[in-house]
């Protein structure tokens, strides 16, 4: 647990919202139990929280938050948490495997146990039918109104009217991409494919066509078996960073140290950077950048750490890494944004011309990027991209 | 200097605010336009200064942070002709007549320096920044906002008349005694690619040199949408500022937890709320505008409430003519009975919290109704339907 909490107060005071003046909060922290508050005695019951997901890791790591009848957060924990708790009404909010919050209500009766169970039904998976892609004939059908224009570093292994499944072509030397035409627009997408996976399911990603309005949009997702990676992407979309941070931290290390899924580890690193806690994770970032040079985002992450190093030599090394990484197409939207920020605000005046050149190169992505997408998605519709270019 | 002194002026720790709103751009269009300015094909905005004035009015009348009460607001507004500011702010500016308050480079630069110094007086100070105007968001982490004298032919032909908000946020996120907790809002827009690409190669915008070290939290919230849509409500307020003010007035409030003993608006919930609320507001127009967060995204308390938020609750009965009339038992936290007015539908204002609702029936009705009501932000109005039979 990395969260810092206030020191316990010597004289607890009544909460202004508590209609019972005797009910007071005393702030404390038990590192083992993650209990945030204690109450004066009221008839207690027992509350247990269980979490079941298809991922053993996430089942044990996903965090929940318990809020009492006065809307105070009274505890956080992970699956298996069981505590005596004052009788009353509670809500339990879980950071779900898709990165969003699920909430359940509970009434704890005096002297009785109450269990809140979270399971991940198929319906909670935003793409419950994706496994059917794997069973169907390759490219037997394509999404209506859309077609693949070109591929780089990957192949299509399945498709239907809703989208495509992609696998990497190894060895991977750069970020794989696909260019897809949707009606009159054309998009070039970075694909988070995993060349480290021993099995096909752990390598794949999916691009699906959605219709939020009258305009078709493309959405890139990790394959359904890459559950930890999907959790990270879900957190990025939902922005529930506070509850996710401990899980993200451990998930990123897990993905890196086991060499399970380096692209997903890079995404975890980008989120941790956003939270300002990446400096504490410097060793695995250094190794990730060195071991997987085909993910420029990991090198950008390393450069971001070296930028703030008091040693000028390390800052120079960081700038060299940054300049090398920014000759490549980023995998993630946040990787692109971080790279441009570093190029623009590098603390030393070194290589100003080279930084300006890299910025100009990356601006070709940034000016037409879909900033709502987790993976880099760039509008390359010919007419809009360059009026002089042939359609 | 357009400085409004708050009740905590001269004390520390305290809150210092910098609010900039630019709607008037004399060098971009109209008779005063320069060749350089006209080449961007941009004109005046209708609500950036008004939006900034609404934020200032909230700071003056509703902002509450006991650990760092309001000490100062540096307010720099360039309203467009005919744009109406909040009356309270209009009055305060009138009291300062003669002091430069237009959002030009020189004035903004000077005020930023003063603001920077004020924030450094005590690490426990709180810094609040809101900047609205024509902007260029090249990525989801950077934003440059054009000031009133952007493209003035008498000055440089680059971003000299602009402020690099992300760079200022970055610079002030260093150590050196800065306020450890800060919150930044950039209410601008994303230009069309052809315009954005030109800005990428321009330099010279106002910024702040970074010091060694790191503050605890300095999230920068960026409204990112098509340029017209960031200010969709003509002669009103920007959609982003409307969502922001709803948030700090309670819609993004959280109950007490280790971060704050009172109900409060923290940046973590604010992040989620603004993203969802701005999307809702822009969906009405059939388009999308998102809110991104950059800077150091750690929890920081923006607003604290002295009272528990109140929720307007409506309880309806189905079927409406159920007879004999079912009775209601409502208990806060399943323990404390709540007096409920007679008759259906029931309309009642309740403090945020959890309530156990029991609707009891008598023969010939056999099926009552029971539900836990979870009342609180973001829904300060709540409707529940009790189905009996």
A174-188 pLDDT, tens digit per residue, is 999 999 988 788 999
B357-385 burial, b at 16+ Cβ within 10 Å, e below that, comes to bbbebeeebeebbebbbbbbbeebebebe
Contact B341, B347 (CB under 8 A): yes
pLDDT at A246: 76
- DSSP-assigned states of every residue in B162-173: EEEHHHHHHHTT
Sign of CA dihedral A298, A300, A304, A309: positive
Q: A302-306, A373-377, A384-388, B110-114: lowest mean pLDDT where?
A: A384-388
Maximal CA-CA distance, chain B: 86
Give the pairing of strands B264-266 and B253-254: antiparallel
List CB contacts (< 8 A) between B263 and chain A: 17, 71
pLDDT at A30: 37
What is the residue-averaged pLDDT of chain B? 88
> Distance between CA B377 and CA B73 in Å, rounded?
28
User: What is the average pLDDT across A344-373?
Assistant: 86
Higher pLDDT, B243 or A6: B243
Say whether pLDDT at A7 is over 50: no
Residue B297 contacts A, CB cutoff 8 Å: yes
CB contact under 8 A, B356 and A371: no
Contact A252, A284 (CB under 8 A): yes
Residue B146 contacts A, CB cutoff 8 Å: no
pLDDT at B196: 65
pLDDT at B264: 96
Cβ-nearest to B353 among A70, A213, A369: A70
Contact A97, A62 (CB under 8 A): yes
Phi and psi torsions of B299, nearest 5°: -65, 135
User: What is the average pLDDT across B70-85?
Assistant: 95
**CA distances, A209 to each of A8, A282, A375 (Å):** 52, 37, 15
User: What is the average pLDDT across B112-140?
Assistant: 91
> Distance between CA B380 and CA B313 in Å, rounded?
8
CA-wise closest residue to A167 among A140, A142, A136, A199: A199
Say whether pLDDT at A25 is over 50: no
Say whether pLDDT at B88 is over 50: yes
List CB contacts (< 8 A) between B276 and chain A: none
pLDDT exceeding 70 applies to what percent of chain A? 78
User: What is the average pLDDT across A204-216?
Assistant: 75
List CB contacts (< 8 A) between A359 and chain B: 200-201
> Distance between CA B388 and CA B320 in Å, rounded?
10
CB contact under 8 A, B201 and A356: yes
List CB contacts (< 8 A) between A29 and chain B: 258
CB contact under 8 A, B140 and A107: no
Say whether pLDDT at A172 is over 70: yes
pLDDT at B157: 63
Q: B231-235, B244-248, B271-275, B381-385: lowest mean pLDDT where?
A: B231-235
Cβ-nearest to A69 among B142, B210, B353: B353
Kindly report the nearest CA distance between residue B203 and chain A, in angstroms.
Answer: 10
CB contact under 8 A, A69 and B333: yes
User: What is the average pLDDT across A232-259?
Assistant: 77
CB contact under 8 A, B352 and A71: yes
Name the closest residue on chain B to residue A308, using Cα atoms.
B212
Which tokens sit at B116?
């920077």
User: What is the average pLDDT across B2-19?
Assistant: 95
CB contact under 8 A, A72 and B257: yes
HSE-up (13 A, CA, CB side) for residue B238: 38
- Chain B residues 162-221 with CB within 8 Å of chain A: 166-167, 170, 193, 196-197, 200-201, 210, 212, 214, 217
Contacts 24+ apart (CB under 8 A), B245-251: B245/B54, B245/B55, B245/B58, B246/B277, B247/B273, B247/B274, B247/B277, B248/B58, B248/B62, B248/B63, B248/B302, B248/B303, B249/B58, B249/B62, B250/B305, B250/B309, B250/B377, B250/B380, B251/B277, B251/B377, B251/B378, B251/B380
Q: A290-299, A310-319, B230-239: lowest mean pLDDT where?
A: B230-239
CB-defined contacts A:B, below 8 A? 159
Mutate to test the interface with A, among B333, B336, B378 (most CBs of A within 10 A): B333
In this prediction, residue B293 has a pLDDT band, given cuts at 50, 70 and 90, of confident
Residue B334 contacts A, CB cutoff 8 Å: yes
Kindly report the nearest CA distance between residue A245 and chain B, in angstroms.
Answer: 11
Three-class SS of chain A: CCCCCCCCCCCCCECCCCCCCCCECEECCCCCCCECEECCCCCEEEEEEEEECCCHHHHHHCCEEEECCCCCEEEEECCCEEEEEECEEEEEEEECCCCCEEEEEEEECCCCEEEEEEECCHHHCCCCCHHHHHHCCCCCCCCCCEEEEEEECEEEEEEECCEEEEEECCCCCCCCEEEEEECCEEEEEECCCCCCCCCCCCCCEEEEEECCCCCCEEEEEECCCCHHHHHHHHHHHHCCHHHHHHHHHHHHHHHHHCCCCHHHHHHHHHHHHHCCCHHHHHHHHHHHHHHCCCCHHHHHHHHHHHHCCCCHHHHHHHHHHHHHHCCCCCCEHHHHHHHHHHHHHCCCCCCHHHHHHHHHHHHHHHCCECCCCCECEEECCHHHHCCCCCC
pLDDT at B198: 66
User: What is the average pLDDT across B356-371?
Assistant: 95
User: What is the average pLDDT across B97-116?
Assistant: 88
Helices A312-325 and A352-366 sit at what angle, rounded to 10 degrees?
40
List CB contacts (< 8 A) between A341 and chain B: 139, 141-142, 166, 170, 294
Name the closest residue on chain B to residue A309, using Cα atoms.
B212
Mutate to test the interface with A, among B66, B67, B141, B214 (most CBs of A within 10 A): B141
Which tokens sit at A60?
């044990």
> Distance between CA B228 and CA B207 in Å, rounded?
26
For the whole model, what pTM was predicted?
Answer: 0.85
Say whether pLDDT at B360 is over 90: yes
Three-class SS of B118-160: HHCCCCCCEEEEEEECCEEEEECCEEEEECCCCCCCCCCCCHH
- Chain B residues 71-110 with CB within 8 Å of chain A: none
CB contact under 8 A, A367 and B196: yes
pLDDT at A303: 96
List CB contacts (< 8 A) between A212 and chain B: 288
pLDDT tens profile A55-71: 777 778 888 999 999 99
First-to-last alpha carbon distance for chain A, in angstroms, is 55
Higher pLDDT, B211 or B110: B110
Kindly report the nearest CA distance between residue B18 and chain A, in angstroms.
Answer: 22
pLDDT exceeding 90 applies to what percent of chain A? 35
pLDDT at A5: 30
Kindly report the nearest CA distance between residue B261 and chain A, in angstroms.
Answer: 8
**CA distances, B257 to each of A68, A237, A318, A352, B337 (Å):** 11, 25, 40, 47, 25
User: What is the average pLDDT across A118-136?
Assistant: 46
Kindly report the nearest CA distance between residue A88 and chain B, in angstroms.
Answer: 5
Contact B139, B222 (CB under 8 A): no
- Chain B residues 15-54 with CB within 8 Å of chain A: none
Contact B111, B1 (CB under 8 A): yes
In this prediction, residue A126 has a pLDDT band, given cuts at 50, 70 and 90, of very low
Contact B186, B135 (CB under 8 A): yes
What is the residue-averaged pLDDT of chain A? 78
Mutate to test the interface with A, among B140, B207, B252, B307 (most CBs of A within 10 A): B140
Mutate to test the interface with A, among B67, B137, B138 (most CBs of A within 10 A): B138
Cβ-nearest to A366 among B138, B288, B355: B138
In this prediction, residue A9 has a pLDDT band, given cuts at 50, 70 and 90, of very low
Residue B378 contacts A, CB cutoff 8 Å: no
pLDDT tens profile B310-331: 999 999 999 999 999 999 999 9
In this prediction, residue A29 has a pLDDT band, given cuts at 50, 70 and 90, of very low
Residue B304 contacts A, CB cutoff 8 Å: no
Say whether pLDDT at A45 is over 80: yes
In this prediction, residue A328 has a pLDDT band, given cuts at 50, 70 and 90, of very high
Cβ-nearest to B255 among A5, A71, A276: A71
pLDDT at A383: 59
Cβ-nearest to A336 among B139, B332, B356: B139
The listed range with the strongest mean pLDDT (A228-242, B71-85, B213-227) is B71-85
Give the pairing of strands B126-132 and A37-38: unpaired
Neighbours of A111 (CB within 10 A): 10
pLDDT at B361: 94
In this prediction, residue B276 has a pLDDT band, given cuts at 50, 70 and 90, of confident
**CA distances, A371 to each of A42, A181, B225 (Å):** 50, 19, 10
Residue B227 contacts A, CB cutoff 8 Å: no
pLDDT tens profile B153-164: 887 667 778 898
First-to-last alpha carbon distance for chain B, in angstroms, is 69
Mutate to test the interface with B, among A17, A109, A116, A245 (most CBs of B within 10 A): A17
CB contact under 8 A, B352 and A341: no
List CB contacts (< 8 A) between A242 and chain B: 268, 299
Residue B354 contacts A, CB cutoff 8 Å: yes
Contact B230, B187 (CB under 8 A): yes
Query: Element (H or E) spanning B82, and its range?
Result: none
Say whether pLDDT at A230 is over 90: no
In this prediction, residue B199 has a pLDDT band, given cuts at 50, 70 and 90, of low
Residue B376 contacts A, CB cutoff 8 Å: yes
In this prediction, residue B112 has a pLDDT band, given cuts at 50, 70 and 90, of very high
pLDDT at B67: 95
Q: A71-85, A216-230, B363-377: lowest mean pLDDT where?
A: A216-230
Helices A241-257 and B267-283 sit at what angle, rounded to 10 degrees?
100
Say whether pLDDT at A6 is over 80: no
User: What is the average pLDDT across B280-302?
Assistant: 80
User: What is the average pLDDT across A352-357?
Assistant: 89
CB contact under 8 A, A90 and B354: yes
């Amino acid at each position: 647990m990395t969260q810092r909490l206030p020191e316990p107060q010597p004289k607890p005071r009544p909460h202004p919202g508590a209609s019972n003046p005797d009910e007071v909060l005393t702030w404390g922290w038990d590192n083992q139990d993650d209990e945030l508050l204690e109450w004066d005695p009221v008839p207690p019951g027992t509350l247990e929280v269980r979490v079941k997901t298809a991922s053993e890791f996430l089942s044990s790591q996903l965090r929940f938050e318990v809020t009492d009848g006065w809307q105070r957060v009274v505890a956080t924990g992970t699956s298996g948490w069981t505590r005596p708790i004052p009788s009353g009404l509670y809500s339990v909010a879980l950071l779900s495997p898709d990165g969003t919050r699920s909430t359940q209500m509970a009434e704890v009766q005096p002297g009785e146990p109450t269990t809140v169970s979270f399971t991940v039904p198929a319906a909670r998976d935003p793409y419950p039918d994706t496994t059917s892609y794997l069973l169907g004939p390759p490219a037997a059908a394509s999404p209506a109104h859309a077609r693949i224009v070109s591929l780089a570093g990957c192949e299509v292994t399945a498709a239907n009217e809703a989208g495509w499944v992609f696998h990497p072509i190894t060895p991977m030397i750069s970020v794989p991409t696909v260019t897809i035409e949707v009606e009159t627009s054309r998009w070039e997408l970075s694909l988070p494919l995993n060349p480290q996976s021993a099995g096909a399911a752990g390598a794949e990603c999916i691009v699906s066509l959605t219709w939020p309005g009258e305009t078709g949009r493309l959405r890139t997702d990790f394959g359904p078996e890459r559950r930890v990676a999907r959790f990270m992407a879900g957190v990025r979309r939902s922005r529930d960073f506070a509850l996710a941070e401990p899980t993200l931290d451990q998930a990123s290390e897990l993905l890196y140290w086991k060499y399970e899924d380096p692209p997903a580890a890079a995404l975890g690193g980008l989120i941790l950077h956003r939270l300002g806690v990446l400096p504490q994770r410097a060793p695995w970032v250094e190794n990730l950048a060195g071991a997987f040079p085909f993910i420029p985002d990991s090198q950008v992450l390393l450069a971001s750490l070296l930028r703030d190093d008091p040693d000028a030599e390390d800052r120079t090394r960081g700038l060299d890494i940054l300049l090398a990484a920014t000759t490549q197409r980023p995998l993630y939207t946040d990787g692109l944004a971080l790279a441009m920020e570093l190029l623009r605000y590098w603390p030393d005046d070194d290589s100003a011309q080279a930084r300006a050149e890299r910025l100009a190169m990356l601006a070709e992505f940034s000016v037409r990027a879909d900033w709502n997408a987790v993976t880099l998605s760039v509008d390359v519709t010919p007419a809009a991209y360059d009026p002089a270019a042939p359609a | 200097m357009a400085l409004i002194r708050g009740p905590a002026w001269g004390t520390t720790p305290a809150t210092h605010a910098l609010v900039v709103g630019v709607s008037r751009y004399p060098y971009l269009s109209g008779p005063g336009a320069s060749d350089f300015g006209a080449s961007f094909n941009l004109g005046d905005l209708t609500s950036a200064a008004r939006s900034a004035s609404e934020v200032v009015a909230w700071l003056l009348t509703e902002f509450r942070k006991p650990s760092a009460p309001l000490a100062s607001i540096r307010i720099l507004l360039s309203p467009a002709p005919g744009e109406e500011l909040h009356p309270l702010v209009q009055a305060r500016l009138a009291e300062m007549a003669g002091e430069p308050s237009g959002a030009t480079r020189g004035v903004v630069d000077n005020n930023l320096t003063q603001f920077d110094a004020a924030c450094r007086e005590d690490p426990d100070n709180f810094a609040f920044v809101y900047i609205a105007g024509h902007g260029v968001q090249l990525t989801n982490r950077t934003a440059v906002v054009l000031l009133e004298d952007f493209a003035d032919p008498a000055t440089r032909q680059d971003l000299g008349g602009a402020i690099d908000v992300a760079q200022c946020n970055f610079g002030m996120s260093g150590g050196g005694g800065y306020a450890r907790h800060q919150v930044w809002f950039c209410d601008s827009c994303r230009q069309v690619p052809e315009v954005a690409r030109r800005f990428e190669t321009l330099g010279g915008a106002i910024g702040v040199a970074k010091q060694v070290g790191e503050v605890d939290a300095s999230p920068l919230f960026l409204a990112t949408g098509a340029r017209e849509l960031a200010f969709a409500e003509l002669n009103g307020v920007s959609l982003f500022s409307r969502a922001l003010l709803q948030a700090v007035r309670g819609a993004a409030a959280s109950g007490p937890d280790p971060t704050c003993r009172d109900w409060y608006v923290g940046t973590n919930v604010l992040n989620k709320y603004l993203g969802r609320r701005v999307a809702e507001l822009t969906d009405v127009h059939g388009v999308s505008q998102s809110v991104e967060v950059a800077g150091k995204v750690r929890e920081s308390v923006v607003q604290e409430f002295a009272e528990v938020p109140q929720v307007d609750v409506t309880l309806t009965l189905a079927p409406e003519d159920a007879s004999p009339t079912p009775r209601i038992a409502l208990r806060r936290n399943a323990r404390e009975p709540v007096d409920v007015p007679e008759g259906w539908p029931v309309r009642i204002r309740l403090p945020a919290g959890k309530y156990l609702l029991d609707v009891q029936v008598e023969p010939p009705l056999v099926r009552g109704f029971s539900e836990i009501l979870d009342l609180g932000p973001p829904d300060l109005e709540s409707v529940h339907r009790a189905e009996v039979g």
